[in-house]
Amino acid sequence: MFGVDIGGTGIKGAPVDLDKGDLSGERYKVPTPHPATPDGVIDGVADVVAHFGWSGPLGVTFPGVVVDGVTRTAANVDKGWVGVDARAALSERLGLPVVVMNDADAAGIAEMTFGAGRGRGGTVIVLTLGTGIGSAVFVDGRLVPNTELGHLELHGHDAESRASVKAREDDDLSWEHWGHRLRKYLAHVEMLFSPDLFVLGGGVSRKAEKFLPYLHGHGLSAEIVPAELQNNAGIVGAAMAAAKL
Ligand code: BGC
């Protein structure tokens, strides 16, 4: 199976082994065009697919709300995506059956099946920390899609503008300073949802030891673990969705 992950900085794809829940070949990445318009991004997805000569069903993640293949929001990509039937556009361009889903939902499904959320019931919230903050909420393993918890308002700010990895880089924050911002954000989410478990994903999960020490107390008591599939979770989750086409 095959998955493509559209991100704020790169469009990445790879073949996926769905028995192992891992990439079955090296991934290929093209830079996300700026502005990240539908035409430019669709060209990028086509390049990635062509690189592998893939000709089967395709799963694609998008960093915004996706309902029935239509992209509804575009926080970190060009606003021209709002209202686009991305599934139809990609499927027509590539001549393949395509499923499009929110990037965090895809990563969450992969983590719940193959990673840190495997076998976990109750309320599990998978958060992807990157250009934005994505969320995937699971209740006894079942996804509530398009939850958008990265855009909760906290102290008058859009939460992701303060606690994403991009915010850490833009504001040149130490791990401790950023960790405290992240703790406040997680405590707010905990206050609203009382999750049993948070799974923290995105590339930064590789460096979890740098910020996990700051994530406790002040209203934060849920168990917190780093994601296991790290930056490949979106690709794996997209491929899992494609397998159902
Ligand atoms: C978007 C979400 C997305 C997240 C991570 C947010 O800005 O609104 O839909 O999942 O970024 O890419």
pLDDT digits (tens, 9 = 90+) for 99-126: 999 999 999 999 999 999 999 999 999 9
Ligand 1 centre from 63 Cα, in Å?
5
**pLDDT for res 187:** 98
Ligand 1 centre from 150 Cα, in Å?
7
Looking at residue 220, the DSSP 8-state letter turns out to be B
Q: Would the pLDDT of 5 be above 80?
A: yes
Ligand 1 atom index nearest CA of 75: 7
Ligand 1 pocket, mutate which of 125, 126, 128 (most atoms under 8 A from CB): 128
Q: Is the CB of 146 under 6 A from ligand 1?
A: no
Mean pLDDT of 52-71: 98
Domain 2-105+233-242 fold = Nucleotidyltransferase; domain 5 (3.30.420)
DSSP string, 129-197: ESSSEEEEEEETTEEE----GGG-EETTEEHHHHHSHHHHHHTT--HHHHHHHHHHHHHHHHHHH--SE
**pLDDT for res 230:** 77
Q: Would the pLDDT of 195 be above 80?
A: yes
- As assigned by CATH, the class of the 118-228 domain is alpha beta
Q: Is the CB of 108 under 6 A from ligand 1?
A: no
The structural domains of the chain, with segments of one domain joined by +, span 2-105+233-242, 118-228
**pLDDT for res 33:** 97
The Cα 217–Cα 188 span in angstroms is 12
Q: Are 3 and 238 in contact (CB under 8 A)?
A: yes
Mean pLDDT of 139-161: 97
Residue 128: pLDDT band with limits 50, 70, 90: very high
Q: Is the CB of 159 under 6 A from ligand 1?
A: no
Q: Give the tens place of pLDDT for each residue, 16-41.
A: 999 999 999 999 999 999 999 999 99
Ligand 1 pocket, mutate which of 77, 125, 148 (most atoms under 8 A from CB): 148
Residue 126, class by beta-carbon neighbours within 10 Å (0-12 exposed, 13-18 middle, 19+ buried)? buried
**pLDDT for res 153:** 96
The Cα 126–Cα 7 span in angstroms is 17
Phi, psi of 220 (to 5 degrees): -110, 110
Examine domains 2-105+233-242 and 118-228 and report if their fold is the same: yes
**pLDDT for res 223:** 98
Q: With a threshold of 0.85, does the pTM exceed it?
A: yes
Residue 152, class by beta-carbon neighbours within 10 Å (0-12 exposed, 13-18 middle, 19+ buried)? middle
- Measured between its terminal Cα atoms, the distance across the chain in Å is 11
Q: Is the CB of 73 under 6 A from ligand 1?
A: yes
Q: Using CA positions, which residue lies closest to atom 5 of ligand 1?
A: 134
Please report, as a single letter, which amino acid is at residue 219.
G
